[in-house]
Amino acid sequence: MKPSMETSWTDVANALAEILEAENAALRAADYAAAARLLPAKRAAIARMEAAEATGPRHEIRDAAGRLDRLAQQNRNLLADGMGIQAQVLRIIAGAIRSASAAGYGPSGLSAPGFGAYALSAKV
């Protein structure tokens, strides 16, 4: 998308910033499904930004770059935090499965067989 009189380079940068702000808010709220729904819009905004970058006035690019850089850094940190939380949840679930399936003794005093296969399901 080449900036025109109706759509300046600043407008393109602001659109991307708004999407990053919305995604960051969703990530802060641990609403990963909402954050994921923003991915197509974020990719499209980045593509428009890259296309517009070559034609944007230098002062507009410089002014928007700081804001976008701060939002992108926040976004990276929030995504990393979310992945860390998901990894912790999986470790807890795996530990619970190992504990539940550990061999024990049944009512007769004989070794009781472990549990069968496990399946996990989550609606996102």
3-7, 44-48, 86-90, 120-124: which has the minimum mean pLDDT? 3-7
- CA 115 centroid distance within chain: 34
Give pTM, 2 decimals. Answer: 0.62
Render the burial of 86-102: b for 16+ CB within 10 Å, e for the rest: eeeeeeeeeeeeeeeee
Task: Write the pLDDT tens digit of every residue in 68-122.
Answer: 889 999 999 999 998 888 888 888 888 877 776 655 555 666 665 554 445 556 6
The number of beta carbons lying within 10 Å of the beta carbon of residue 40 is 9
Q: Are strands 111-112 and 104-105 parallel, antiparallel or unpaired?
A: antiparallel
Question: What integer pLDDT is reported at residue 43 of this predicted model?
Answer: 94
pLDDT of 7 above 70: no
The number of beta carbons lying within 10 Å of the beta carbon of residue 46 is 14
Structure tokens belonging to residue 60: 């507009």
Question: What integer pLDDT is reported at residue 6 of this predicted model?
Answer: 45
pLDDT of 60 above 90: no
Q: Is 118 exposed, middle or buried (0-12, 13-18, 19+ CB in 10 A)?
A: exposed
Report which DSSP code applies to 101: T
Res. 49 pLDDT band, cuts 50 70 90? confident
